[in-house]
Amino acid sequence: MNLPMNTVAAATKPVVLIVDDNSANLLMLGDLLDGPYRVRLAKSGEQALTAAVLEPQPDLILLDIMMPDMDGYEVIRRLRDNPRTAEIPVIYVTAKTSSEDEALGLNLGAADYINKPINPAVMLARVAAHVQLNRMRDTLLEHNHQLEAEVARRVSETVLVQEASMRALAALGETRDNETGHHIRRTQLYIDVLGRHLVQDRRFRDQLSPKRLAMIVKAAPLHDIGKIGIPDHILLKPGRLTPEEFEIMKTHATIGGQTIDRALRELAADNLIGRSAIAAVAHPHDQSGPLDFLIIAREIAALHHERWDGSGYPGGLTGEVIPLPARLMALADVFDALISRRVYKDPMPMDEVTRIIEEQRGRHFDPDIVDAFLARKDEFVAIAERYAEPGDPVR
């Protein structure tokens, strides 16, 4: 399938391994992806396991489930058990469409799930997104290695890592979600308003210093990065989710936290970051190292659906056990959802939104953050009006 090319060009092309016992499916997917990618084909689970360790290793594996001898579930189990292949992202491409099948595949470590017959445009977009995510991790490792070597003269190390990580991850999230840039900007500004109010209270001064608040605001766009792992038929469903679909949707918080956490832990394990950063990975509430931004982003992505009273997800955390950045994001995100149009609801009037948030004081939200919202509500309204969606005036 691979066409002749010079060595440099070959080295820069991502490798995609396609696994399917049906030759017609292999050729169809191979033809679709050949060009932007180096395509490698396997007709069985055993061939797939052999091809996955060949150099250059795949950036992504497209895996059928229903195959003789070794099905796709067993293939991914063996891939995850082998340290050489454990981190290669896998997308199931299958005719098995039940929610139980999808949940099993995702629980075994699949990054995504695409149903047959495939839509070529969807396939190309999903492959591009996952390849970019995998390569972003490698890029992050390389950047940090370079920055450690130049730390004496490159005092801007932290800013560079933060900006590169935020832009890459946020861009990936936007390719899968239909939230707009206006939503991202509004929630950032809401958090800034809340933080500037709370810092007047000495209890919050250390946690909301100008530098720390700027990091929290900058990390806010990554709150839903985990939606990259939610299947399209759920993420883009034009209506309310079923209870089963909502359980899968809820996993985006865990996926987002794990995505950022994996990069942090690999940097620490490979000694590509200093002792202070390793300590911060072990003690996520003590942000004192050069990767503060990613630690805050991890907290926001993983925990912004936790609730003050412990009824949230994924961990059922309560009160101040929930990191402050995630508590700020919780109110900002819910406020914006209430004032915004969704496929299943119209925007709510501001009076009703305010009533709901007040009712959730000490339940969903930190009481101090609700009080800050009420004190600065006029600023929230001004932000909502300034960055309103076209045709959706704030009421």
pLDDT in tens, 88-117: 999 998 888 788 877 888 888 888 888 888
Chain mean pLDDT for the chain: 84
Find the CATH number of the domain harbouring 335: 1.10.3210.10
Residue 69 confidence class, pLDDT cut points 50, 70, 90: confident
Distance between CA atoms of residues 335 and 189, nearest Å: 12
Find the CATH number of the domain harbouring 87: 3.40.50.2300
Distance between CA atoms of residues 189 and 195, nearest Å: 10
393 found inside a domain: no
Distance between CA atoms of residues 248 and 243, nearest Å: 9
Same domain, 174 and 280: yes
124 found inside a domain: no
Same domain, 152 and 208: yes
All residues at 6 or more sequence positions from 349 whose CB lies less than 8 Å from its CB, including other chains:
395
Beta bridge partners of 39: 16
123 found inside a domain: no
DSSP classification of residue 91: E
196 found inside a domain: yes
Same domain, 266 and 350: yes
Residue 313: the pLDDT is 95
Same domain, 73 and 201: no
Same domain, 14 and 141: no
Residue 284: the pLDDT is 46
Sign of CA dihedral 78, 224, 134, 124: positive
Distance between CA atoms of residues 347 and 230, nearest Å: 25
311 found inside a domain: yes
Distance between CA atoms of residues 353 and 254, nearest Å: 28
Same domain, 68 and 186: no
Structure tokens, 69: 């001898």
pLDDT digits (tens, 9 = 90+) for 256-308: 898 888 877 776 666 655 445 544 544 444 444 557 778 898 999 999 999 99
299 found inside a domain: yes
334 found inside a domain: yes
371 pLDDT above the threshold of 90: yes
CB 222 within 8 A of CB 256: yes
Same domain, 354 and 206: yes
∠357-186-232 over CA atoms, to 5°? Answer: 90
Structural domain harbouring 46: 7-118
Burial class (CB in 10 A: 0-12, 13-18, 19+), 369: buried
From 118, 144, 166, the end of a domain falls on 118
From 118, 144, 170, the end of a domain falls on 118
Same domain, 156 and 110: no
Residue 278: the pLDDT is 43
pLDDT digits (tens, 9 = 90+) for 158-175: 555 656 656 566 656 655
pTM of the shown model: 0.57
Same domain, 12 and 111: yes
Residue 6: the pLDDT is 42
**Whose CA is closest to 44, among 55, 52, 56, 35?**
52
Distance between CA atoms of residues 57 and 382, nearest Å: 51
2 found inside a domain: no
From 94, 118, 142, the end of a domain falls on 118
Same domain, 235 and 372: yes
Q: How many domains, in total, are found in the chain?
A: 2
